[in-house]
Amino acid sequence: MSTDSFQIINPATGQCVRMHPIIDAATAAAKIDAAQAAWTTWRQTPMDHRSEVLHRVAAILRDRIDSLASRCTEEMGKPITESLAEIEKCGWVCEYYAAHAPAMLTDQRFTIDHAQVRIVRRPLGVIYAIMPWNFPFWQVFRAAAPALMAGNAMVLKHAPSTLGCGADITTIFRDAGAPEGLFLDLPIDLPDSPGVIANRHIRGVTLTGSDRAGRSVAAEAGANLKKCVLELGGSDPYVVLEDADIERAAERCVASRMLNCGQVCIAAKRLIVAQRVYDRFRDAVLGRLQAIEMRDPTQPDSRLGPMAREDLRAQLHDQVARSVAAGASLQLGGVIPDRPGWWYPPTLLEEVEPGMPAFDEELFGPVACLTRAHSESHAIELADATELGLAGAVFTTNRERGEALAADQIDAGCVAVNDFVRSDPRIPFGGVKDSGFGRELGTPGIHEFVNLKSVVVAT
């Protein structure tokens, strides 16, 4: 990185594909002023017109899907089929909120004593979004669609490695007819971010990132009395009970773990398996992992692309090595291939126990970790033996028992039964403990950045 630009590196080759200019603090402040000006108009814009803009955004996403997906794969490294699916999902979230936001924001009216009460939800202002590289379009749109439909404006600090995606999103909103400045990307350097949070026009902050980043942003937001939503990391337990459908459980766990080269906050990171079915499950997982090849992510048959950055691969490999040194058994992978780019093979660690990095830390990459559970209660104990609480899953043929464990035992924000967790515009998404607070998506997602105002009229 130079002093005035970021390098955009193709993870598949390790080569720089372009330089993206950095803006200084003064330019960032001017963009925030423009967003504030846009908000003063947008907040008064009728809901049906906001919906029209979001529908046009969805149409542009689908019209440009090939070029946008190619940008996503080039900057982040995911297989092109996954990039295409990501762009399509962004269109879906725009259409979902365009259709349902009016009902979600409907006024409530009732009478108390000698007064008429009206509860209204009104936009806060300019929202500052700090977004990661792993889903460079989806992470942004799942925050932007509800925030903008609620009447807010948004400025985006995207990850330095995916700034082209951030610029594309700004262009899409402009081309869809949104007021100039309603959505703007801020390609700023990290030291300038606290100044954005402190800016008087910023009324809320939303971050998707690590728990370390969350602590920093929460501290800055708190010091400046700004509302924030934090979606942080996960060390997600996937519990396989004795009566599970082993083939389905293995297929779902591997699919979750390998999606996006394992770089998913809600992936199946710790596979906690009942002793009686452990060997069968391990063999089923191993066979599926062995069938996955690292291939050029631009090709439609690619299932596993490179990791997004060299430093992320180095961190993952170090976690694997330290886990093996602590007693984990390496059954597959775990060797950095001799080829250009940031590739890492499908890897399987067995006999993973508390105290090892593979159990205690989030492994962000294509590494599956197996842990034996001696009983159902032991499995739940292991599942909750983490400071993180984003997602989890339970596999059992007793659906009622699985639902009860998911609802009442596993301490996480999102838990699936007999499937892997995924984000969905219709369902609230977020975590507990060190995985953050607040919710995205669903009705709660649009309520995060509104002023819940009580209007009391005497009669």
Write b or e for each residue in 89-106: b if 16 or more Cβ atoms lie within 10 A of its Cβ, otherwise e: bbbbbbbbbbebbeebbe
Q: Pick the catalytic residue from 231, 362, 440, 448.
A: 231
Residue 231 annotated among the catalytic residues of the structure: yes
d(CA 143, CA 150): 11
Angular region, 170: left φ>0, alpha ψ -120 to 50, beta rest: alpha
Residue pair 217/207 in contact (Cβ under 8 Å)? The answer is yes
Side chain identity, residue 157: K
Residue 94 annotated among the catalytic residues of the structure: no
d(CA 123, CA 50): 13
Q: Pick the catalytic residue from 265, 350, 369, 414.
A: 265
Catalytic residues: 231, 265
